[in-house]
Structure 1
Amino acid sequence: MQPATASEIQPAISLLGKTPQLLETLLGDLPDDLLRWKPKPDRWSISEVLAHLAALEQVYTERVRRMVAEDSPALAKYDLDGAKAREDYSHGSGTENLANFIQTRRSTLAMLAGLPASAGTRVGVHSELGTITLAHVLHEWANHDLGHLRQIEELYRAHAFHPNSGPFMKYSNPQP
């Protein structure tokens, strides 16, 4: 495995910094009924995605902190199914969940801004993936943000615009 350099972490940190702004711009003035709309009972609403993003901040920040502070810490695989069973993301309004995510991410960004230049090469041992670098974690975190930004966009599109586009509906197929 090729070790990451410190410069390789900046694109990921930059994207992590843009996510709150993108979400605030897209969702900041939407009514709560739109933020809580679900395409199917077993799918998340925008509000639930925001609650999930806030909850995952703790997972990612803990990994980063441990990888900076410890030598090759053991990192458990994130248990999404267990988290879904433990976490009820349906509580709180969409507006509250957006504000909570933005506040949590701001704290995260302050922590990331203080990373030493060599942080990207720090390693941990993931229970499933083996040796990973802090740069890998940051890039996965940015990838996770982008995946959920797309999910949020598709939910918004499917509920607010696609049904009202009349005959143009045949040209698009939102996948919320």
Structure 2
Amino acid sequence: MQFAIENALPMLERTPQVIETMLYGLADEWIYSNEGGDTWTPVDIVAHLIHGEKTDWIPRTQVIMGEGSKTFVPFDMEGHHAVKKGKTMSQLLDEFKILRKENLAQLKTIDITEESLNRTGIHPILGTVTLRHLLAAWVVHDLTHIHQLSRVMAKQYYDAVGPWVQFMGVLGGKR
């Protein structure tokens, strides 16, 4: 499928609701558990999404669409720690929902044409990227973290599923 803004927007609009449906009201054992070691919990993932809403997608879109330097500010992969500090999952989910709504409203004010989708910015690691790349990556980034949430949560029942683990793709099984 080729990237089209009219197909991307419904996906971006749904992410907060999908994540809220997955996480709202769950016990701490679900939202503060990870996959072991220094991996992320659902709380970390939602805080990371919030940090991205504040510092990544729209700011980088503005860099591409604006005048002057086309170089993106590097993304702080540890920025989610400050976002989550002192907040409940419910507060984080509400914040994500509000920020995403505001960001999509802002995105909809931009005249996104075939020409503007080909405009470029400079990513600190990837080099030259287009607005098309950035907006498609936003959609796939959301889907990546929805997948990650599913995997992190499924991992909590790895032992409990017993021999069925071989059929549970989310746990590394064959299906």
Give the alignment's TM-score, normalised by structure 2.
Answer: 0.79
Number of residue equivalences: 166
Residue 57, structure 1, aligned to residue 19, structure 2: no
Deviation at 1:43, TM superposition (A): 1.0
Determine the C-alpha separation between the residues in 2 that align with 1:105 and 1:11. 17
Deviation at 1:139, TM superposition (A): 0.8
Q: Report what 1:135 is aligned to.
A: 132
Higher helix residue share:
1
Deviations 1:58-81 (A, max 9, x none): 22211112222226622244353x
1:50–1:97 Cα contact (<8 Å) kept: yes
Q: Report what 1:155 is aligned to.
A: 152
Deviations 1:140-176 (A, max 9, x none): 11121111110001112222x544435434433626x
Give the alignment's TM-score, normalised by structure 1.
Answer: 0.78
Determine the C-alpha separation between the residues in 2 that align with 1:44 and 1:60. 21
Could you tell me which runs of 5 or more consecutive residues in structure 2 were left unpaired when the two chains were aligned: none
Aligned pairs for 1:21-170 (under 5 A) are 21-58=17-54, 59-70=56-67, 73-80=70-77, 83=78, 87-88=81-82, 91=85, 92-118=87-113, 119-159=116-156, 161-170=157-166
Determine the C-alpha separation between the residues in 1 that align with 2:84 and 2:75. 20
SS of 2:35 mapped into structure 1: coil
1:16–1:145 Cα contact (<8 Å) kept: yes
Cα 1:129–1:38, aligned 2, differ >3 Å: closer, same or farther?
closer
* Higher RCO, 1 vs 2 (CA within 8 Å, ≥6 residues apart): 1
1:12–1:142 Cα contact (<8 Å) kept: yes
Single out whichever of 91-100 and 146-155 deviates more from structure 2: 91-100
SS of 1:128 mapped into structure 2: coil
Could you tell me which runs of 5 or more consecutive residues in structure 1 were left unpaired when the two chains were aligned: none
Percent identical: 27
